Amino acid sequence: MADKTEKKEKPPVVESFLAPGHRACAGCGVALAARLALNAAGQNTIVATATGCLEVFSTPYPESAWKVPWIHSLFENPSAVAAGIEVALKALGREGEANIIAQGGDGATADIGIGCLSGMFERGHNILYICYDNEAYMNTGVQRSGLTPFDSHTTTSPSGSVSWGNRTEKKPLPQIAAAHGIPYVAVATAGYPMDLQNKVKKALGIKGPKYLQVHSPCPLGWAYKPEDTIEIGRLAVLTGLYPIYEMENTEITKVRKLGKKRQPVEAYLKPQGRFRHLFSKPEGKEEIKRIQKIADGNIERFGLV
Amino acid sequence: MSKPVGIVTKPGSSKVNKTGSWRTTRPVFLHKNCNDCRICVMVCPDGVIFGSDSSYDADLDYCKGCGICARECPTDDIEMVLEVK
Amino acid sequence: MKKIIEGSLALAEAVKLCRPHVVSAYPITPQTHIVENLAQMVADGELKCEFVNTESEFGAASVVLGASAAGARAFSASSSQGLLLMAEVLFNIAGMRLPVVLACANRSVSAPINIWNDQQDAAALRDAGLIQFFAEDNQEVHDMIIQAYKVCENPEICLPALVNLDGFILTHAFEPVEICDQKLVDEFLPPYRPANYLSVDKPMTFGALFEPTWYQETRYRIQQTMEEAKPLIEEVSKDFEKTFGRFSGGLLEKYRMENADTVFVSMGSVVGTIKDAVDELRKGGEKAGVLKVRVFRPFPTEAITEALEGVKNVIVMEKMISLGAGGILASEIKNAFYKNPQAPDVSNFIFGLGGRDIPLESILEAYAKVKKQENRDVFVDLRKEALEVTY
C-alpha cells in the first residue's frame, strides 16, 4: 500500500496542451519534450514552430494537436516570426497576454536558422527559443546537422569502409547564444523531465531573449528501442557527453554534477545503432577513446565531477 | 466563393486520429505497487496516461505502446503485454 | 497638402498615414530612404509603431508575417537581391492569406551586380500570389500604398501586395505630391480587424501541413481571389476619389487612346517618357496612344482586351525578361488575346535593364521599327562596345 503520510492531494491528470492523436513515432523524445515544455508554459502561450518533425507530426490539416495559438511559417524563421508576434502584441496593447515561444529542431536552429536566431537575441525580444536537439535533420531522413555529434552515423555522414561517421563536434550553440549576452541560457534533456519543466518555467519568468536546448532522443534516427528514450537521455548527461546546465548573462550558474553516477561513454554509445560501427571494428576503440576525450573535456570545462 | 482556407480552428483536433491502432504491445497498469509518483504520466511522449490516487491507466485509443512508462515505473507496476488479436 | 518630395518620402508618408503597427527594415539601395524616413518618423514620435531592424530581408519579411498573423497591420520594403531573399517568405505570406503590404524599389538583379532600375525583381515574384501595383510617379506611389491596404485587408481578399516604384527614378526624384489628409485616410482605411489571428482567447493553428488531398484547393482559392480582386481594385479607386476628391487608381490608365491605331503598353515611370513620345507622334499626325498597366497581378486580362479593342498595333515596352522565353508583359498581353479574332499585332521591346537610360528617341525609334514592320522582338539600344567585350 502506498505511503500517503507526506503526500499532498494531487488533482486528477488533465490532457496536455499538446493533445494526443499526433503522428510522432512511439517513444519520440521531441514529442515528450515539447509536451512537457508547453505544459510548463501554460495555456497563455503563443508558439511559432519551424518546419520539422514537430510541425509535421502535429499539424496534418485539418487536424492539429496544438491547443494554444500556433504558427508554422518556414524552416529557418520561427525566431523572426515570433519576434514579429512579440512586437505586434506590444503595438496592439496586448503585451503580457501570452508567453511567446519559438521552437525548432537542431537543423532549424543551429544551421539554417542561426541568422534569424542571432537577430532575435541581439534585438532583445522577450521570447523563449527552444531547440529540440535530436542531433540530425530527422524529418527528412536522418541527415547530418551542425549539432550532429562526433562519429555519429547519419545518411549524409555515414559510417563506411573509410569513414567513422560525422567528422565534426557539435556546434556550441548554447555558448553562441550566451555570447549574445542574453539573460538566460539552459541545456536540458527529455531524460530529466522535471528539470526540463523547471528550466522552461524559470526562463519564462525572465524578461528578454532566452535559449533552451533540449537533448531529445530519437528512437528511429538513433536506432534504439523506443522504451529507452528516458534512459538514453540520462546517459547522455551521466557520461558527460551532453552536460546540462544554466547560464545567466554569459556566466555558468548551475550545472548538473555527475559525482558517483558518472558513466563511461560506452554506456551511452552501445545501445544506439548510430554508433554501432564503433563497436563492430577493433579500430573503433580509438574512436571511442576520442569520444571519451570529448566527454572528459566537458566534465572539466563545466566542473561536472 | 474564395473565402480563405488554411487555418485549423479546432485546437486539439488531432484527437480524431486514434493512434492506439499503431501499437503491438500495450501497457497494463497492475494497480498493486503504485506509489502515486506520476512518473508514468510525466514520461509518456503522447501524454495519454490519466487517473489519480495511485490508479492510473493509459488511454488505449491513443497509446502507441512505446513502453517508456513500463520502463520507468520505479515500482514495476506496469507491464507491457503483446497485443494479440 | 502638396509637398515637393522624393518618392521614398511620398511612400513613407503614405505608410505613416496607414498607421501600421509594425514596420520591419533591412536596408538595400535604392530602398534605403524609405526605411530611413520611417525610422526618423518613429524617432520623432510622428509614427507610433514598432520599428524592427532585422538581420536580413528574410528576417524582415518573417517579422511582418508573424506580426500580421498576430493581428497587426504590417509593412516592409526591399529591392532586387533583398526581394529575392524575401521570396520564400513572400510565397508563405500569400499562402497564409496575410494582408501585408510591401514596397519594392525596383532594381536590377545580380549577377552581374547592378544597383540601378529595372523591374526584374518584381517579375521574379510574379507567381507568388502577391497583388502587384506599378507606380508611374510619386503621387501614384503615395496613393497606391493607401489603396493597397484597403484592397488587401478586405475580408474577401486577404492577400499581400507589392507596390513597385522604380528605383532611383522615383525613389530619389523630387516631384510635387499631394499628401493625403490623416482624417480622410482614417475614414477610407479603418483599423485592421482580421477574422483569424493568433490569440489565447481563440487558439488556432496557422501553417498546417496540407497533404495532396487538401493542397490544390488552396491554390484554386487564391486564383479565384485574384480574379475577384480586379473589380475590387476598381471599386477601391472609386472610393478613393469619393474620399479624397481626386481620381488615382484602377487597373489601367489610357492616354490619348481615342482612335489610336498603335498603342504602347508599359508599366512604371517610363510611361511618362512614352506619353511624351506619344505627344510628339500625335503632333506628327500619328494615331498613337499609351495604355499604362497599373496592376500587374492580378493580370487585368479583360480590361486590357477591352481597352485595346480595335487597335492594330500594340507595342509592349518592358523592363523585365523571362530568360529563355522573352518579354513577360508582352507574352501576357498576347495571351490575353488568345483565339481572339481581333487580336492586334504585338511587338515586344526590352529596354532599360540595369538602369540603361531610355531617351525619348528610343521610343520613337521603336515606333518607327513597328511602322516599317522591321524586327520587332528586340532589345532596345544594345551597345556595340558592350557586346564586343571578350572578358
Nearest to C22 among A44, A46, A87 (CB): A87
Residue A223 belongs to a domain: yes
Three-state SS letters, chain A: CCCCCCCCCCCCCCCCCECCCCCCCCCCHHHHHHHHHHHHHCCCEEEEECCCHHHHHHCECCCCCECCCEEECCCCCHHHHHHHHHHHHHHCCCCCCCEEEEEEEHHHHHHHCHHHHHHHHHCCCCCEEEEEECCCECCCCCECCCCCCCCCCECCECEECCEECCCCCCCCHHHHHHHCCCCEEEEEECCCHHHHHHHHHHHHCCCCCEEEEEECCCHHHHCCCHHHHHHHHHHHHHCCCCCCEEEECCEEEEECCCHHHCCCHHHHHCCCHHHCHHHHCCCHHHHHHHHHHHHHHHHHHHCCC
Domain count, chain A: 1
Q: B13 with A63: CB under 8 angstroms? A: yes
- Domain final position from C193, C217, C244: C244
- C7 with C116, same domain: the answer is yes
Alpha-carbon C233 to chain mean position: 13
- C115 with C262, same domain: the answer is no
Interface touch A10/B36, C-beta < 8 Å: yes
Q: Say which range, A131-140, C156-165, C375-384, has the weakest mean pLDDT.
A: C375-384
In this prediction the pTM is 0.95
Nearest to B66 among A3, A22, A27 (CB): A27
- The pLDDT confidence band at residue A1, using thresholds 50, 70 and 90, is very low
- List pLDDT tens digits, range A254-276: 999 998 999 999 999 999 999 99
Residues of C in Cβ contact (< 8 Å) with B11:
203-205
Residues of A in Cβ contact (< 8 Å) with B8:
59, 61-64
Which of A208, A175, A196, A191 lies closest to A302, judged by CA?
Answer: A175
Q: What is the pLDDT of residue A9?
A: 81
What is the domain extent for residue A44?
29-302
CATH of the domain at C208: 3.40.50.970
CATH of the domain at A115: 3.40.50.970
Chain A residue with CA closest to B16: the answer is A21
- C240 with C268, same domain: the answer is no
Interface touch A122/C65, C-beta < 8 Å: no
Question: If residue C122 lies in a helix (H) or strand (E), which one and from where to where?
Answer: helix C120-124
Interface touch C70/A45, C-beta < 8 Å: no
Q: A268 with A215: CB under 8 angstroms? A: no
How far, in Å, are A133, A150, A227, B67, C384 from residue A271 at the CA level? 19, 16, 12, 16, 70
- List pLDDT tens digits, range C227-257: 999 999 999 999 999 999 999 999 999 999 9
- List pLDDT tens digits, range C257-284: 999 999 999 999 999 999 999 999 999 9
Smallest CA–CA separation between B51 and chain A, in Å? 6
Q: What is the pLDDT of residue B8?
A: 83
Nearest to A35 among B8, B45, B71 (CB): B45
User: In the structure grid, which three cell numbers stand for residue C234, read together?
Assistant: 476598381
Residue A5 belongs to a domain: no
Interface touch A71/C209, C-beta < 8 Å: no
Chain B residue with CA closest to C206: the answer is B7
* Exposure of A59 in the CB half-sphere (CA atoms within 13 A): 30
Mean pLDDT of C191-219: 95
The answer on pLDDT for C159 being more than 80 is yes
- List pLDDT tens digits, range C102-149: 999 999 999 999 999 999 999 999 999 999 999 999 999 999 999 999
Q: Where are the domains of chain B?
A: 18-82
Segments of chain B with pLDDT less than 70: 1-5
What is the DSSP secondary structure assignment for residue C318, as one 8-state letter? E
Interface touch C59/A59, C-beta < 8 Å: no
Interface touch C158/B7, C-beta < 8 Å: no
Task: State the complex-level ipTM.
Answer: 0.95
Residue A205 belongs to a domain: yes
Chain B residue with CA closest to C224: the answer is B2
Residues of A in Cβ contact (< 8 Å) with C102:
none
CATH of the domain at C358: 3.40.50.920
Interface touch B6/C225, C-beta < 8 Å: no
Smallest CA–CA separation between C47 and chain A, in Å? 12
- C31 with C54, same domain: the answer is yes
- C295 with C210, same domain: the answer is no
- C117 with C162, same domain: the answer is yes
Interface touch B5/C221, C-beta < 8 Å: yes
Q: Given a contact as 3+ CB pairs under 8 Å, which chains touch C?
A: A, B
Chain B residue with CA closest to C205: the answer is B8
- C291 with C238, same domain: the answer is no
Q: How many CB pairs under 8 A join B and C?
A: 40
Q: What is the spatial distance between Cα B84 and Cα C6, in angstroms, rounded to a whole number?
A: 78
Residues in chain C, how many? Answer: 391
Q: What is the spatial distance between Cα C299 and Cα C184, in angstroms, rounded to a whole number?
A: 30
Mean pLDDT of A156-174: 96
Average pLDDT over chain A reads: 96
Interface touch A13/B38, C-beta < 8 Å: yes
Average pLDDT over chain C reads: 97
- Domain final position from C209, C244, C279: C244
- C96 with C179, same domain: the answer is yes
Chain B residue with CA closest to A16: the answer is B47
Percent of chain C with pLDDT over 90: 98
How far, in Å, are A3, A196, A245, B49, B70 from residue A12 at the CA level? 18, 22, 32, 11, 20
What is the domain extent for residue C304?
252-388
Residues 5-34 of B with CB under 8 A from C: 5-9, 11
Interface touch C205/B6, C-beta < 8 Å: no
Residues of C in Cβ contact (< 8 Å) with B9:
196, 202, 204-205
- C36 with C92, same domain: the answer is yes
Who wins on pLDDT, C104 or C375? Answer: C104
Q: What is the spatial distance between Cα C146 and Cα C20, in angstroms, rounded to a whole number?
A: 11
- List pLDDT tens digits, range A91-132: 999 999 999 999 999 999 999 999 999 999 999 999 999 999
- List pLDDT tens digits, range A65-75: 999 999 999 99
Q: Say which range, B3-12, C94-103, C196-205, has the weakest mean pLDDT.
A: B3-12
- Domain final position from C221, C244, C267: C244
The answer on pLDDT for A21 being more than 70 is yes
Q: What is the pLDDT of residue C269?
A: 98
Residues of B in Cβ contact (< 8 Å) with A2:
34-36, 54
Fold of B18-82: Alpha-Beta Plaits (3.30.70)
A138-151 per-residue burial string, b: 16 or more CB within 10 A, e: under 16 = bbeebbbbbbbbbb
Hey, is the C-beta of A228 within 8 angstroms of any chain B C-beta? yes
Chain B residue with CA closest to A25: the answer is B64
Hey, is the C-beta of C114 within 8 angstroms of any chain B C-beta? no
Q: What is the spatial distance between Cα C305 and Cα C340, in angstroms, rounded to a whole number?
A: 9
